[in-house]
């Protein structure tokens, strides 16, 4: 799961996947803008069959925030 989340963020932010780390900030470190954020949200929903609201999206500061949210949603489905 972690690799899939990292891959999606890397592809959309156009940062090499090997450089993506949990502590990196989406805006400050990866230069993710609002359009990229929506793309990430859409891809994560599709990949993991989960729902992410735009309100939740506003809470994502780091890559780790996204991963933890996705993991929680996936675990809830089990």
* Separation CA 62–CA 38 (nearest Å): 15
Q: How far apart are CA 47 and CA 67, in angstroms?
A: 13
Catalytic: 33?
Answer: yes
Q: Which of the following is catalytic: 28, 33, 49, 59?
A: 33
**CB under 8 Å to 57, separation ≥6 — which residues?**
37, 38, 41
Would you name the residues annotated as active-site residues? 33
């Amino acid at each position: 799961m972690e690799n899939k989340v990292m891959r999606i963020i890397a592809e959309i932010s156009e940062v090499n996947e090997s450089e993506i780390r949990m502590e990196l900030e989406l805006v400050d470190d990866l230069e993710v803008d609002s359009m990229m954020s929506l793309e990430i949200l859409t891809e994560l929903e599709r990949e993991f069959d989960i729902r992410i609201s735009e309100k939740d999206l506003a809470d994502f500061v780091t890559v780790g925030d996204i991963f933890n949210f996705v993991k929680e949603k996936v675990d809830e489905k089990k």
